[in-house]
Amino acid sequence: MKIKTQAVNFNVQDSLLEFLDKKLNKLEVFYDRIIGAKVYLKLENGSEKSNKTVEIVLQVPGNDLTAIKTSESFEESINSACDALKKMIIKKKEKTA
């Protein structure tokens, strides 16, 4: 899977990119026709603790699947977004089966 990552308002650490790659590659277990993923990591300005937003657009044949999650850490946001995408993939497979 080809993954494009874009960070807004901060510089991404390599450890976060590795974590992201590992999580996204696990989605291929559920659906083998994933073309790629576009990931946007955003650090929102504000006083709230939950200011780290992750938007993942999964490119699959037909419609792209999108999940946007915000939490206190990027790892938590990535986990939530990947879980949401996993559910979307399972639903998509059930519809086409």
Measured between alpha carbons, how far is 12 from 61 in angstroms, rounded to an integer?
29
Q: Which domain holds residue 61?
A: 2-96
Q: What 3-state DSSP class applies to 48?
A: coil
pLDDT band at 48 (very low <50, low <70, confident <90, very high): confident
**Confidence check: pLDDT of 96 > 80:** no
Q: What is the CATH number of the domain that holds 10?
A: 3.30.160.100
Tell me the whole-structure pTM to 2 decimals.
Answer: 0.92
Give me the chain's average pLDDT, please. 92
**At which residue do the structure tokens 């699947």 appear?**
65
Number of domains in the chain: 1
Structure-token pair, residue 43 = 């650090």
The share of the chain scoring above pLDDT 90, in percent, equals: 73
Residue 9 confidence (pLDDT): 82
